[in-house]
Amino acid sequence: MNSNILIDTAARMVAPGKGILAADESSGTIQKRLNAVGVESTEQTRRDYRELLFTAPEIENYISGVILYDETIRQSSSTNVAFPKLLEGRGILPGIKVDRGAKPLALHDAEKVTEGLDGLRERFVEYRALGARFAKWRAVITIGTGIPTQDCIDANAHALARYAALAQEADIVPIVEPEVLIDGDHDIDRCEAVTVRTFDRVFSELKNQRVLLEGMILKPSMVLAGKQALRQSSVEEVAEATLRTLLRTVPAAVPGIAFLSGGQTPEQATAHLNAMNRRGPHPWQVAFSYARALQNPVLEIWRGRAERAEAAASAFTRRARLNHLARSGKYEPGMEKSA
């Protein structure tokens, strides 16, 4: 493990004003998203769509890294440039999703544990050779009647920590993603309590596995009421509860927190990020690692039509720029209309 490489890469991932594009949808997920806009999911259409994102104008000013899927890291552009090299040429770090998905946790109804540790050391060697400089592993925590159990939190925290240690062994920065799902009718206070429990256990396991905190990035969900809750929280309430949770649980040694959007609209995700940064400075960089909150406007315009590719790419650049402004608390909702 080269600590200097890890620390430098992690700092670049959460550089001021920038965030990470999550373009690591599994085959099933990308099929659903393409089908939703009338596009058949084939290797060619998936490649065309990812190339549209990776070649969008000026994104290197707003995007520090891109999380790729196994298929995507092996693909090349229409000009025969491997996607990792294309991104690196723009000063954008290539990353890779390495987990094998959340599976039912044995003897625990409605709870899941993420799998993929078997053979991960060897896969990291290959991904490093393909150009990956960071990785991602997602765990999911569901809130419901009697859940999450401590068993579920413990199992996922341990897997996240073991993954992170293996990544750092390969000089790859781990993104540690414990997502407390937005599904449910719980209020924001319940979400906060569960998130505190989860983060406490995750960082305990990271320390047990000797993970270098300065060489990792946390990718958490924001503290939100469940989407079926009778009362939804205001932007300021979300910012306050999320920051309070982070200050109680996340060591200052961690260089950055790159939030997932987790079912929020693009506008909500940007507004919440902006409200948190307006309350700064913080011990860590408060950044973003969005998938749908960056991509939904792009898909709605593109819809698989080549003549719309330029407009779709411009929409991606505009969305990235709005989140760039939110990184410093300079976003205003009125900017949505001008965009």
Residues of the chain with pLDDT under 70: 338-339
Q: Look at the chain and count its residues.
A: 339
Q: Find the domain containing 143 and state its range.
A: 3-338
Q: What is the pLDDT of residue 338?
A: 61
* Contact between residue 8 and residue 211 where contact means Cβ atoms under 8 Å apart: no
Per-residue pLDDT of 72-126, as tens digits, reads 999 999 999 999 999 999 999 999 999 999 999 999 999 999 999 999 999 999 9
Q: What is the pLDDT of residue 114?
A: 98
Among 235, 294, 297, which Cα is nearest to 260's? 294
Q: What is the pLDDT of residue 337?
A: 79
Per-residue pLDDT of 29-40, as tens digits, reads 999 999 999 999
> Which CATH number characterizes residue 7's domain?
3.20.20.70
Q: What is the pLDDT of residue 56?
A: 98
The total number of structural domains that make up the chain: 1
Q: Which residues are catalytic?
A: 177, 219
Q: What is the pLDDT of residue 103?
A: 97
Give, in order, the Cα–Cα distances in Å from 267 to each of 72, 275, 308, 319.
27, 12, 23, 9
Instruction: Report, in angstroms and rounded to the nearest whole number, the Rg of the chain calculated over CA atoms.
Output: 19
What residues contact 87, with CB distance under 8 A and at least 6 apart? 54, 66, 93, 94
Burial of residue 107 (number of CB atoms within 10 Å: 0-12, 13-18, 19+)? exposed
Q: How far apart are CA 230 and CA 128, in angstroms?
A: 46
